[in-house]
């Protein structure tokens, strides 16, 4: 198996590491590595980014900054992070012509809630760590908490951080979920991924429809469609509504144009992440009248739960040219 060959090549000589990585692949992860928990090399950049106000209403990033800069503080006694990648690409970067009234949803949100899918798998992988070291403590994270996932993934040898701040794996591209297990088990870290293979390419920066990138590796979240439709709290201003365009939830533009995705991204065969028809191109009008109970029944097990019914109603109104709640 190609994945086994790759993981064994990059693994340390410990048979425990090899067995753990093999188990990760059996569980459905597409890549796995081990990262040390040394202080974040980009701590100064994080401080400057926060000070510039680029986090918008994401106040939790200010509260989490100390642990993001020193990930060893997240879990007392933790020595390493076991980092996994899971491909969620659905096979096309071109949604084509949308039906009248429909709006676009980012690919990662077109299936069941990845927090639940990957959380369950990570707990199984954590159990495999405890099989190796029965006394070990483990803590699982899926896009939550003060974990600097992309930094840890780079340290674990899983890819590099691109100019649009996405992690690019050289064989998978950037359409991947990052899962992390912190542990005090004695697992030898992998070598970090040192190369930056973006070179002079800046397609992701130039393609951004809202000019959200201040510079390579610096994004003003306040102008990012994903931030506006998912994380932003409160109603939209007229300028913010104009930025959203026809994106109901999230945005894939900077990933769609990336040459590494165009060449290497392949549709996932993971049945737990199969796209749902009601999420691929939903009718935006439905969110304007949907009550809380109906929203919970239809979308409570999807990423759309993050902004909630009110946030999705706001997004829908923006895509349809209205002012929203």
Pairing outcome for strands 80-87 and 218-219: unpaired
Phi, psi dihedral angles at 86 (to 5 degrees)? -130, 120
Answer yes or no: are the C-beta atoms of 249 and 302 closer than 8 Å.
no
Distance (Å, whole) CA 197 – CA 221: 24
Q: Compute, in degrees rounded to 10, the torsion defined by CA atoms 31, 34, 39, 44.
A: -10
Cα four-point dihedral sign 162, 167, 171, 172: negative
Q: What is d(CA 301, CA 316) in angstroms, rounded to the nearest whole number?
A: 19
Kindly name the residue from 4, 94, 143, 211 that is annotated as catalytic. 143
SS3 23: helix
- Per the CB < 8 A criterion, the answer to whether 183 and 80 are in contact is yes
DSSP state of 102: B
Phi, psi dihedral angles at 308 (to 5 degrees):
75, 180
Active site residue 291: no
304: its two tokens: 């759309």
- Catalytic sites, residue numbers: 143
């Amino acid at each position: 198996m190609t994945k086994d060959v790759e993981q064994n090549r990059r693994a340390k000589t410990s048979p425990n590491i090899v067995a753990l990585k093999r188990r990760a692949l059996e569980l459905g992860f597409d890549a796995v590595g081990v990262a040390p928990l040394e202080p974040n090399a980009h701590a100064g950049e994080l401080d400057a980014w926060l000070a510039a106000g680029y986090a918008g209403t994401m106040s939790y990033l200010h509260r989490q900054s100390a642990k993001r800069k020193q990930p060893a503080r997240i879990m007392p006694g933790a020595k390493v992070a076991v980092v996994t990648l899971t491909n969620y690409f659905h096979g096309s970067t071109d949604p084509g012509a949308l039906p009248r009234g429909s709006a676009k949803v980012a690919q990662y949100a077109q299936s069941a809630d990845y927090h639940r899918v990957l959380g369950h798998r990570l707990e199984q992988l954590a159990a495999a760590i405890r099989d190796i070291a029965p006394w070990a403590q483990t803590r699982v994270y899926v896009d939550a908490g003060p974990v600097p996932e992309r930094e840890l993934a780079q340290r674990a040898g899983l890819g590099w951080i691109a100019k649009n701040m996405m992690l690019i794996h050289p064989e998978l591209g950037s359409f991947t979920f990052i899962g992390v297990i912190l542990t005090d088990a004695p697992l030898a870290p992998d070598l970090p991924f040192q190369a930056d293979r973006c070179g002079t390419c800046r397609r992701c920066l130039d393609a951004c429809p809202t000019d959200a990138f201040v510079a390579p590796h610096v994004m003003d979240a306040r102008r990012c469609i994903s931030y506006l439709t998912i994380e932003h709290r409160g109603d939209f201003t007229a300028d913010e509504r104009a930025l959203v365009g026809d994106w109901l939830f999230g945005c894939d533009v900077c990933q769609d144009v990336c040459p590494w995705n165009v060449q290497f991204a392949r549709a996932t065969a993971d049945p737990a992440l199969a796209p749902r028809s009601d999420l691929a191109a939903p009718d935006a009008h439905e969110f304007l009248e949907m009550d809380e109970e109906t929203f919970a029944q239809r979308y409570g097990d999807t990423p759309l739960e993050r902004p909630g019914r009110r946030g999705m109603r706001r997004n829908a109104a923006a895509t349809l040219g209205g002012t929203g709640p």
